[in-house]
Homo-oligomer: A and B are copies of this chain.
Amino acid sequence: MTAASITGLAHRGDARICRGCWDQMHVPIPIRGPLALPFRAFGITRSKMNPNICTICERSFRYVKKQSHVAASATILFADIRGFTHLSERIERVRLSQIVSLFQDRCAEGIWAHDGIVNKTMGDGLMAIFNFPIVRKDHAEAAIRAALDIQRLCADALGSLDLDWLGGQPLGVGVGIHSGDVEIGEFSSFRSDFTAIGGTVNLASRLESQAEAGEILLSPETAMQAGALAADATTRLLTLKGIEQPVEARVLDHFIVSSKQ
């Protein structure tokens, strides 16, 4: 197989070979089709972080990168359900779990469609990384497109629920995105899955904490890299906990689901 034909296999929607292993090591690891079967016998399957990468990417960071962590340029996206604590005090847990499931699945759909990975999930929230292990030069733009998909898909899904029990509270998702240098690697000796840390990650998380239901908050760095996609965004000056200088966030707001609709 030529490098070109391998790259072709790796860049389809349902990649036949692991796109992470290809982008990081130029090694073709089959993840779909009959060639994937012998690998599956050795426990190498599609990753839960993104079905176009494999568990080598996910669990063998040290093996792939030959270091416990590396510096990388990436875009980090945080999303969570706004007002979830308020909700969780008021509705039964089975109902709550339906909402969490809808949220997690729709977010993953949006993130995977633009080559991001769902790196961490935590109840009503998650963190995604763009540009690692699948390389995307336009990672800021990819993350914004994922966020727009997340807002649209979640609004559709949450809108289909019977919302009478919300008591007029809007139900929606808040998203925060920032692009910059991060340290990617394995940071605990007992877990072999990788994550990203650094100021970039924390700023993305802080932005998300300030996003209202239906809003996407971009850092100036992400907005600048994304060009036309962020052209319609309004500007909001934010003072963020632990960040010395105020941040001039760009705001994309589209989608709110409310029981008043």
Binding site for B on A (CB under 8 A): 43, 48, 51, 69, 71, 83-86, 88-89, 93-94, 96-97, 100-101, 104-105, 108, 118, 120-124, 127, 181-183, 185, 187-193, 195-199, 201-203, 205-206, 240-244
**Which among B84, B89, B242, B244 is the interface contact of A244 at CB below 8 angstroms?**
B89
Chain B residue at smallest Cβ distance from A195: B123
Is the CB–CB distance between B198 and A88 below 8 Å?
yes
Is the CB–CB distance between A89 and B199 below 8 Å?
yes
Number of copies: 2
Q: Specify the main secondary structure of chain A where it touches its partner.
A: mixed
Contact (A202, B108) CB under 8 Å given A118-B190, A121-B188, A197-B124: no
Question: Across chains A and B, which 3 residue pairs bring their CB atoms closest together, nearest first?
Answer: A85-B242, A104-B188, A93-B183
Chain B residue at smallest Cβ distance from A42: B43
Is the CB–CB distance between B104 and A199 below 8 Å?
no
